[in-house]
Amino acid sequence: MTDPGHSPRERYRTQVRADIKRHAWEQIATAGVSALSLNAIAKLVGMSGPALYRYFASRDDLITELIRDAYRSLADTVAAAAKDGADLSGLAWVIRDWARADPQRYFLIFGTPVPGYHAPDDTTAIAAEVMAVLLDASELLPAGEPATPLETHLDAHRAWIYDHPATGSAIRRALTFWTRLHGILSLDLAGQFANMDLDLDLLIAEEIDALRQH
């Protein structure tokens, strides 16, 4: 018996959805996510606007799929790097390379929120996979003495990390890593360093080194 998940009809549907997402990324790269138009994409894939809604129920549905793909790509990339032995510093370069490879994908999940759009909870769960890897790497750094007020606070309020067995100091390091790295990447990809004679890789390296010492 033919597996219905691999029937010609299902393969065709998968291919059409992939084509729609590809054109959506091209639109986003040209005009930004706020200008995403399902009718324009429908013309590009050779179907009517109403026909496209058989593949994505709404513009928000399409955006959600793009966000899931972006988070999944980052989570898988970071997890693979950690499996290969990358420490916190190594993860910084992996995330930097991922962001630079496709700035629009990066900005979709870390940039300005799309007006009127609310991502479903499962996208947050995928993002938590990335933080779990950072928490594991942060636990390998020596703990500071004494605990900072933020570490004490994080020890008491840790529900957002999905019961990951991390200490307050590791959570602080992971959060500090996250904010420092994404601060640099967001400014870089937005062109804010364009007129500066600045070695961004050296800036990232020194930020991560400073984190190791605290």
Say if CB 91 and CB 129 are below 8 A apart. no
What does the block give as tokens for 9?
């009809």
Residue in 211, 214, 208 with CA at minimum distance from that of residue 96: 208
Segment 141-193, tens digit of pLDDT: 666 555 566 666 566 555 555 566 667 778 888 888 999 999 999 999 999 99
For the chain, what is the domain count? Answer: 2
For residues 89-99, give the mean pLDDT.
95
**Distance separating alpha carbons of residues 191 and 103, to the nearest angstrom:** 11
Do both 81 and 180 map to the same domain?
yes
Do both 51 and 67 map to the same domain?
no
Do both 128 and 204 map to the same domain?
yes
Do both 161 and 143 map to the same domain?
yes
For residues 68-91, give the mean pLDDT.
95
Do both 47 and 117 map to the same domain?
no
Q: Does position 5 have pLDDT exceeding 80, yes or no?
A: no
State the CB neighbour count (10 A cutoff) for residue 97: 11
Do both 91 and 2 map to the same domain?
no
Do both 9 and 46 map to the same domain?
yes
Percent of the chain past pLDDT 90, that is, above it, reads: 47
For residues 188-202, give the mean pLDDT.
90
Q: Does position 58 have pLDDT exceeding 80, yes or no?
A: yes
**Distance separating alpha carbons of residues 23 and 200, to the nearest angstrom:** 32
Which residue would you say has higher pLDDT here, 18 or 157? Answer: 18
Side-chain half-sphere CA neighbours of 10 within 13 A: 6
**What pLDDT does 191 receive?**
92
Domain boundary among 32, 57, 82: 57
**Distance separating alpha carbons of residues 55 and 135, to the nearest angstrom:** 37
**Distance separating alpha carbons of residues 70 and 85, to the nearest angstrom:** 23
What does the block give as tokens for 199?
């070695």
For residues 74-98, give the mean pLDDT.
95
What does the block give as tokens for 174?
């992971």
**What pLDDT does 175 receive?**
85
CATH number (domain holding residue 131): 1.10.357.10
CA-based radius of gyration for the chain = 20
- Res. 76 pLDDT band, cuts 50 70 90: very high
